[in-house]
């Protein structure tokens, strides 16, 4: 059973939004820690402690902003932002640019799955994911088959 999608391009706005959401959800504790240290510095009236904590928070946020924007310009990630079609099978996922060029991803490389209103996101890392809009499927039957395949591969995710 192979499920093929139409070719489409990942919108950069969705890429940024999904990356920032994933980073905030996976690293929420860093912000809590830095703001706690800043609060403690204010509580004991030690300016150097809360100013340093706020500077680290600003640097941390800038680091991730630069990472997300920079990923878009790295030549190795050009595949993510080109016109891609997918072929899903129970063994692997094939990303194809055209008939001669493509890449293969094993299902075990997918670390999380996020269901959205109009699309599904399969995260490979914090900044790399597969964006599959429901409009990319040729029919509702293929969409249903894909959702059933996801349920078998990731039973804990609904």
- Asked if residue 109 has pLDDT above 60, the reply is yes
Mean pLDDT value of segment 43-69? 85
Average pLDDT, the chain: 84
Strand pairing class (129-133; 3-4): unpaired
Question: What pLDDT does residue 158 have?
Answer: 52
Q: What percent of the chain has pLDDT over 70?
A: 99
What integer pLDDT is reported at residue 66 of this predicted model? 92
Q: Which residue has the higher pLDDT, 39 or 120?
A: 120
pLDDT band with cut points at 50, 70 and 90 for residue 51? confident
Burial of 87 (0-12, 13-18, 19+ CB in 10 A): middle
């Amino acid at each position: 059973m192979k499920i093929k999608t139409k070719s489409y391009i990942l919108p950069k706005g969705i890429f940024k939004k999904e990356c920032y959401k994933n980073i905030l959800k996976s690293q929420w504790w860093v912000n809590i820690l830095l703001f706690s240290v800043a609060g403690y510095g204010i509580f004991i009236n030690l300016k150097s402690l809360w100013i340093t904590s706020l500077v680290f928070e600003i640097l941390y946020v800038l680091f991730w902003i630069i990472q997300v924007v920079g990923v878009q310009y790295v030549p190795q990630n050009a595949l993510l932002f080109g016109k891609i079609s997918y072929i899903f099978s129970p063994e692997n996922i094939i990303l194809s640019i055209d008939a001669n060029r493509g890449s293969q991803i094993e299902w075990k490389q997918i670390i999380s799955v996020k269901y959205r209103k109009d699309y599904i996101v399969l995260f490979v890392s914090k900044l790399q994911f597969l964006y599959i809009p429901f409009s990319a499927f040729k029919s509702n039957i293929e969409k249903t088959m894909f959702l059933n395949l996801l349920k078998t591969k990731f039973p804990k995710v609904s």
